[in-house]
Amino acid sequence: MAPIASSAAGFDPRALRTRFPILDRKVHGHRLVYLDNAATTQKPAALLDALRSYYSNSNANVHRGVHTLAEEATGLYEACRGRVARFVNAPEERAVVITRNATDAINLVARSWGATLSTGDEVLLSEMEHHSNLVPWIMLARERGVVLRHVPITADGQLDMAAFASLLSRRTRIVALTAMSNVLGTINPIAEIAEAVHGVGAVLAVDGAQSVPHLPVDFQALGADFLAFSAHKMYGPTGVGFLVAKPELLERMEPVAGGGEMIREVRLDWASWNDIPHKFEAGTPNIADAAAFPAALDMLEDIGMASVRSHERELVGYALDRLLGLGWLEIHGPLDPDRRGGLISFVDPEIHPHDLAQVLDTLGIAVRAGHHCAQPLMRRLGVAATARASFGLYNDRDDVDALVDGLVAARKYFGVA
């Protein structure tokens, strides 16, 4: 494994690239410039090795056997929980429920904590939420007659905190907000929000799908009640996500799925629940991917989340300068790199995002084009779709330069003067 040489940002993205086998491949004859990290990140060889090692050496079901393999598999699965608890500074390992993804984790909160709400109670969301943090609440509203309210965004794509303060009331039972927008890049002031939310006796559920992979996140310091995120956006495997929650809240919640693992005792017509967090993990979980995930956490912890953030902050600042320098792009979200994570949504008014992404693809540059699972936000921004470049650890200024050259090439291709 190549050493990660030191640089100003604390590590060298070029050296890091050699750890990601996929970054060696060519796309349409070009070096792959992968700028779709907000959708999912690429996987380091160490993760692939861990997956292989799990299946080659330790595969068995968990919590169900006394044989050596069962014990090893259980140990590896539970070790993932422990590592994640440490990674986000959860108060205890019991605070971590292993789910399928961030979406699954948010649905768990909406269905289980949501079941304590009744008609007229309010859930406060925002205009910048991903469908994952909108639809579970819409389902809850339909089922229980709770009222959904939405914090508007300001012209530069930040939460309107004055509006937030006036929307928050004693009727508010749950506030569910993203810590970082997957479209605008906006980093929201979660700690400040948590205080206000608790002030009215509500709980705060944080969608950490974009923040946990890219910012230092301390669950206890944040003061949130729930935090949802996905392993696959943090250089880990697909199919594993997490709900980190205050254990005293988990204790009070009912499970939403029944089956094996989640029970203590079952009779023909009666059952009692296992302890937290197991009572929320019905059936055989995604053992292999959970067992492998610590290999990705090793890498993030080696580099350090503060360095990850400073690298991406530097890169997004550079990218903003270069993209604005083109003079023709509409850029959505805050222009201050201190207030945005490593992603930029933009529109070339002369070229539809789909066409733009198509041209970039022929140059080996992977960006996302579309509504980014945020149709209400698109409507608010007055666009049908945007193109989005989102950065990861292995991206550097060369990748931004390739993107900028690609955007110029697209204008040429489409005959835009």
Partner 1 sequence: MIDRPEVALDDLYREVVMDHHRRPRGRTPLARVDAHAHGFNPVCGDDVLLSIALDDERIVGIQVQGRGCAICTASGSIMAEMLPGRTVSEAEATSEAFRGVMHGKLAPAGVDLGDLEALEGVQKFAVRVKCAMLPWVTLADALRAWRTGGAEATSTTEQELGR
Ligand X SMILES: Cc1ncc(COP(=O)(O)O)c(C=O)c1O
Residues near ligand X, by CB under 6 A: 38, 101-103, 130, 132-133, 178, 182, 207, 209-210, 230, 241, 373
**Position 18 contacts partner 1 (CB under 8 A):** no
80 annotated active-site: no
**Position 382 contacts partner 1 (CB under 8 A):** no
CB of 88 to ligand X, least distance (A): 16
Q: How far apart are CA 402 and CA 46, in angstroms?
A: 28
Stretch that binds partner 1, among 21-29, 65-73, 89-97, 143-151 (CB under 8 A): 21-29
CB of 365 to ligand X, least distance (A): 20
Residue 58 or 132 with smaller CB distance to ligand X = 132
Pick what 178 binds: ligand X, partner 1, none; C-beta below 5 to 8 Å, kind-dependent. Answer: ligand X
For residue 384, the SS3 value is coil
Question: DSSP label at 254?
Answer: P
The helix (run of H) or strand (run of E) holding residue 18 is none
CB of 282 to ligand X, least distance (A): 18
Q: What are the structure tokens assigned to 168, written together?
A: 């928050």
CA angle 191, 239, 133 (to 5 degrees): 40
Closest CA to 213 of 5, 43, 2: 43
Total of chain residues touching partner 1, rule CB under 8 A: 24
Are the beta carbons of 391 and 375 closer than 8 angstroms? no
203-207 and 226-230 strand pairing = parallel
For residue 249, the SS3 value is helix
Q: Pattern of binders to partner 1 over 327-366, x per CB under 8 A?
A: -------------------------xxxx--xx--x----
Q: What are the structure tokens assigned to 101, written together?
A: 């993804």
Amino acid at 362: T
Are the beta carbons of 225 and 176 closer than 8 angstroms? no
**Position 26 contacts partner 1 (CB under 8 A):** yes
Q: Which residues pair with 227 in a beta bridge?
A: 206, 244
Pick what 210 binds: partner 1, ligand X, none; C-beta below 5 to 8 Å, kind-dependent. Answer: ligand X
Closest CA to 164 of 132, 204, 207: 204
Pick what 103 binds: ligand X, partner 1, none; C-beta below 5 to 8 Å, kind-dependent. Answer: ligand X
Active-site hit among 373, 389, 407, 410: 373
**Position 28 contacts partner 1 (CB under 8 A):** yes
Pick what 358 binds: partner 1, ligand X, none; C-beta below 5 to 8 Å, kind-dependent. Answer: partner 1
Residue 102 or 381 with smaller CB distance to ligand X = 102
**Position 406 contacts partner 1 (CB under 8 A):** no
Q: Return the number of other C-beta atoms located less than 10 Å from residue 26's C-beta.
A: 9
**Position 405 contacts partner 1 (CB under 8 A):** no
Judged by CB under 8 A, which of 273, 318, 328, 413 binds partner 1? Answer: 413
CB of 369 to partner 1, least distance (A): 7
CB of 171 to partner 1, least distance (A): 33
CB of 176 to ligand X, least distance (A): 11
**Position 131 contacts partner 1 (CB under 8 A):** no
30-31 and 330-332 strand pairing = unpaired
Q: Residue written as tokens 């799990």? A: 54
Q: How far apart are CA 337 and CA 137, in angstroms?
A: 31
For residue 177, the SS3 value is strand
Q: How far apart are CA 396 and CA 22, in angstroms?
A: 16
Pick what 3 binds: partner 1, ligand X, none; C-beta below 5 to 8 Å, kind-dependent. Answer: none
Give the catalytic positions in this structure: 373
The footprint of partner 1 (CB under 8 A) covers 24-29, 352-355, 358-359, 362, 369-371, 375, 378, 383-385, 413-415
